């Protein structure tokens, strides 16, 4: 289970891309795959290391200081650079930009959990060495990042020297002209203390405005050959360790560089914690770290198993995406999943609705403890969401920010940001989805129900009654090319769903005797529940009888259609080439909006309307957002448009490995990666989880011979195997479960198989 790629130092674009593709992360920390030895001056690099949820504040200028507009944002910090290792063979410095690279490749091993560079290099003076550099972000020791650097002399013997650096004086990356990346670079993290302890170095830094402390600790171990530590020097801004040794012909010398990252959000004394974590890691040794990494991943792939028969390249791409989701997901309530995971600084490390709608379904059915952590993060920022609602004029409820790290809104352009109130419906949907997949009612009583209640309150305060219907005005749906509208179809349905489950959870908690403490704490009264129910039943759902479709909002169909066919290719994505107001006045969609609603809330509309809506919006959607094609694949699959479903799926699956959006250098597209998994499981296999239980409506794309995957549903592990002739479901562990296949309900006690019924569009 490996992904390999030739190293091409002569291609600067490939270097930037590979920094992202081969990054190491474990949900807590992430390190981009920069060359340890660095690049020559003039070659661009985004050299970065990040900690999930660690941030600083930065100013955000507003042209007009209107009330409530965001003037301060949070930004993810580039916390320290512990990657630096220079190698000297006698008087010659190793660099892939000098001498000759005889052979070189990058490796990502998703079974063993490491990345590597393997190189055969000849120096300008003819010395040939084989260099293998493996890197691990430990899944079992979250603060640990290990660089394992081996050098083998092939045609010479002599002295070598390592110069290992530990830098705290770094900046974040910036790029002007692209709203998806910070426009200015600041030195957010200021080194305040540096020291050595034997050969180990410690740097403690403080975020300039948030006051968060970060400590990085580094130590070295040498194996093979005779080596001594020449010197270790440290200052608040950095440390340098020089290690010299003798290398015989045909012999190998191995440098193990242990780096520890800790922060004051999670540790009372992050420097003391770093020292303890470093000591334990060095004592455990590299072999133990590799072994525990492989054991962790063996368990992960056992539960998240997915295999495609008939397209090995695509199968590997899907596994790559799943592995990146595991690397990106926060492991506590201090962080979540950024739009770029922990692979880069795109969108400044902010958390969006992407986590709830595109990624949590994967974890809910494969690694539910991670899903619970992600929801716990939303619970941890619930008070900030309440404050956000008050800023926007709401007397009750909570409004989760459109983009954030610590809970405050970071969206400077409110029409396409803060106005996306559907974020509340998305968070509520994720809570319900987790419950339906796990039946973890204790978690609902502890955290989930309170989130759902506070989100429901917001809808009541936002909406208004008109002619017997409940309507929601002045909001923006998922499509960011259409802003500040009335009755966005997706938003209204998500509010309806939220209100329905607020009522359901209230009565479930009341029946179990758990409602009173929660109701007393947040002031929830029965009259509110009655209002929730009344608004849910009266929710206005836009429908156009002439076209037989659901309009995206009240005014959408009255606008002029954008001529996508005659728009120059170089004008995409449109947001970088057209003024927002110009976009807002046209029927043009950046991404799935009503089509997304037809997937998430498909039982709210008949199949014929969904079909007509899909065909209508397909013609005016640019898919400028990476969140789009995976959703179109799922709905196309449901409707039996097999060729379209497969084409949209392929566009999504290959997005990062082939850099199809041209910006993977800034980081991976985590939401799309979750959407790729959903396109198989929810799309081709037709999986749905509702109040009545688990159901499948499986089909298979024409290019495949079959596919298999596993899910964990309410404590039972189930495998689905789909071929052109049959759909087989096997209970691998846990109690028997009732499942529905093609509308017929079975009790799954061991294995059952049914003839495949292919969908027709």
Instruction: Tell me whether strands 464-466 and 469-471 are parallel, antiparallel or unpaired.
Output: antiparallel
**The two three-digit tokens of residue 263, written as one number:** 């922060």
CA distances from 94 to 147, 156, 163, 190, 456 (A): 17, 15, 11, 31, 61
Computed over every residue of the chain, the mean pLDDT equals 95
Q: For residue 735, is it within any domain?
A: no
Question: Whole-model pTM?
Answer: 0.96
Give, rounded to a whole angstrom, the gap between the first and last alpha carbons of the chain. Answer: 36
Tokens 């190998």 correspond to: 252
| Residue 465, in any domain of the structure | no
- Dihedral pair phi/psi, residue 681, rounded to 5°: -75, -45
- What's the CA angle centered on 538, arms 534 and 541, to 5 degrees? 145
Task: Please answer whether residues 347 and 35 qualify as being in contact, where contact means their C-beta atoms are separated by less than 8 angstroms.
Answer: no
Residue 374 lies in a domain: no
Dist. CA 571–CA 576, nearest whole Å = 8
| C-alpha–C-alpha distance, residues 172 and 175, integer Å | 10
* Residues 134, 138, 142, 148, Cα dihedral to 10°: -30
Q: What is the pLDDT of residue 627?
A: 95
Bridge pairing between strands 2-6 and 24-25: unpaired
Largest Cα separation within the chain, whole Å, is 89
**Residue 46 within any structural domain of the chain:** yes
CA distance 358 to 625: 13
According to DSSP, residue 698 is labeled: -
Q: Which of 423, 387, 357 is nearest to 68 (CA)?
A: 387
d(CA 136, CA 143): 11
Which residue segment(s) compose the domain that 158 sits in? 2-55+71-271
* Structural domain contains residue 120: yes
Q: How many CA atoms lie within 13 A of 547 on its CB side?
A: 18
**Contact yes or no for 634/683 (Cβ under 8 A):** yes
Q: What is the pLDDT of residues 399-454, one digit of tens each?
A: 999 999 999 999 999 999 999 999 999 999 999 999 999 999 999 999 999 999 99
- Please give the pLDDT value at position 177: 56
pLDDT tens-digit map of 126-141: 999 999 999 999 999 9
What CATH number corresponds to the domain at position 88? Answer: 2.70.98.40
Residue 31 lies in a domain: yes
Residue pair 240/163 in contact (Cβ under 8 Å)? The answer is yes
Q: In whole angstroms, what is the distance from residue 400 CA to residue 414 CA? A: 13
Tokens at 466, concatenated: 């008109």
Q: pLDDT value at position 234?
A: 79
Residue 35 covered by a domain: yes
DSSP state string for 570-612: GG-SGGGTS-HHHHHTEE-BSS-SHHHHHHHTGGGS-HHHHHH
3-state helix, strand and coil shares in percent for the chain, rounded to the nearest 5: 35, 30, 40
DSSP class of residue 688? Answer: E
Give the integer Cα–Cα distance in Å for 242 and 186. Answer: 30
Domain count, the chain: 1
State how far the Cα of 515 lies from the Cα of 501, in Å rounded to an integer.
14
Separation of alpha carbons 344 and 347, rounded Å? 9
Catalytically active residues are: 480
249 assigned to some structural domain = yes
Parts of the chain with a pLDDT under 50? none
């Amino acid at each position: 289970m490996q992904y390999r790629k030739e190293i091409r130092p002569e291609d600067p674009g490939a270097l930037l891309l590979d920094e992202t593709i081969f990054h190491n992360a474990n949900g807590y920390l992430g390190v981009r795959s920069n060359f340890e030895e660095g690049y020559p001056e003039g070659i661009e690099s985004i050299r970065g290391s990040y900690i999930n949820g660690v941030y600083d504040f930065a100013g955000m200028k507003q042209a007009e200081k209107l009330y409530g507009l965001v003037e301060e944002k949070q930004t993810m910090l580039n916390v320290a650079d512990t990657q630096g290792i220079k190698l000297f063979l006698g008087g010659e410095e190793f660099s892939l930009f000098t001498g000759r690279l005889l052979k070189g490749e990058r490796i990502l091993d998703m079974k063993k959990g490491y990345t590597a560079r393997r190189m055969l290099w000849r120096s300008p003076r003819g010395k040939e060495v084989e260099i293998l550099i493996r890197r691990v972000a430990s899944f079992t020791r979250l603060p640990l990042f290990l660089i394992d650097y081996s050098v083998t002399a092939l045609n010479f013997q002599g002295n070598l020297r390592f110069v290992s650096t530990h830098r705290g004086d770094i900046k974040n990356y910036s790029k002007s002209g692209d709203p998806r990346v910070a426009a200015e670079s600041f030195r957010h993290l200021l080194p305040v203390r540096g020291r050595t302890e034997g050969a180990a170095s410690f740097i403690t830094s403080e975020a300039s405005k948030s006051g968060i402390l970060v400590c990085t600790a580094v130590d070295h171990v040498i194996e093979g050959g005779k080596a001594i530590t020449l010197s270790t020097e440290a200052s608040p801004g950095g440390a340098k360790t020089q290690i010299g040794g003798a290398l015989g012909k045909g012999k190998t010398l191995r440098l193990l560089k242990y780096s520890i990252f800790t922060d004051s959000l999670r540790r009372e004394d992050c420097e003391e914690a770093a020292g303890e974590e470093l000591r334990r890691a060095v004592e455990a040794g590299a072999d133990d770290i590799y072994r525990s990494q492989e054991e962790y991943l063996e368990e992960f792939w056992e539960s998240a198993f997915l295999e495609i028969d008939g397209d090995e390249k695509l199968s590997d791409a899907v596994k790559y995406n799943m592995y990146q989701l595991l690397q990106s997901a926060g492991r506590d309530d201090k962080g979540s999943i950024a739009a770029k995971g922990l692979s880069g600084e795109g969108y400044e490390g902010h958390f969006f609705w992407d986590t709830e709608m595109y990624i949590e379904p994967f974890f809910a059915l494969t690694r539910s403890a991670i899903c619970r952590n992600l929801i716990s993060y939303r619970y941890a920022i619930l008070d900030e969401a309440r404050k956000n609602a008050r800023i926007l004029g709401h007397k009750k409820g909570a409004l989760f920010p459109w983009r954030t790290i610590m809970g405050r809104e970071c969206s400077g352009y409110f029409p396409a940001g803060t106005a996306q109130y559907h974020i509340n419906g998305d968070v509520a949907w994720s809570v319900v989805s987790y419950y339906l997949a796990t039946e973890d009612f204790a978690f609902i009583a502890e955290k989930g129900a309170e989130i759902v209640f506070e989100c429901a309150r917001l809808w009541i305060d936002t909406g208004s009654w008109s002619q017997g219907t409940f309507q929601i005005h002045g909001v923006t749906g998922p499509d960011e090319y259409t802003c500040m509208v009335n009755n966005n179809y997706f938003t209204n349905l998500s509010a309806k769903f939220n209100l329905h489950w607020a009522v359901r959870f209230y009565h479930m908690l009341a029946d179990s005797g758990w409602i009173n403490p929660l109701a007393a704490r947040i002031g929830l009264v029965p009259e509110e529940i009655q209002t929730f129910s009344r608004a849910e039943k009266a929710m206005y759902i836009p429908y156009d009888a002439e076209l037989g479709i659901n309009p995206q909002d009240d005014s959408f169909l009255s606008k002029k259609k954008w001529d996508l066919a005659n728009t120059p290719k170089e004008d995409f994505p449109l947001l970088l080439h057209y003024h927002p107001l110009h976009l807002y006045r046209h029927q043009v969609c950046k991404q799935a909006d009503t089509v997304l609603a037809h997937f998430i809330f498909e039982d709210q509309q008949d199949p014929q309307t969904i079909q007509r809506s899909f065909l209508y919006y397909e013609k005016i959607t640019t898919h400028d957002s990476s969140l789009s094609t995976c959703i179109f694949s799922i709905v196309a699959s449901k409707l039996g448009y097999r060729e379209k479903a497969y084409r949209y799926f392929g566009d999504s699956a290959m997005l990062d490995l082939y850099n199809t959006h041209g910006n993977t250098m800034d980081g991976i597209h985590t939401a799309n990666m979750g959407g790729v998994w959903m396109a198989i499981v929810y799309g081709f296999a037709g999986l749905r989880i509702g109040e009545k239980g688990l159901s499948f409506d499986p089909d298979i794309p024409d290019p495949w011979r079959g596919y298999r995957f596993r899910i964990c549903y309410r404590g039972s592990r189930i495998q689905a195997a789909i071929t052109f002739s049959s759909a087989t479901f096997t209970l691998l562990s846990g109690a028997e479960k009732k499942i529905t296949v093609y509308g017929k309900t079975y009790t799954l006690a061991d294995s059952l198989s049914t003839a495949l019924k292919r969908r027709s569009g």
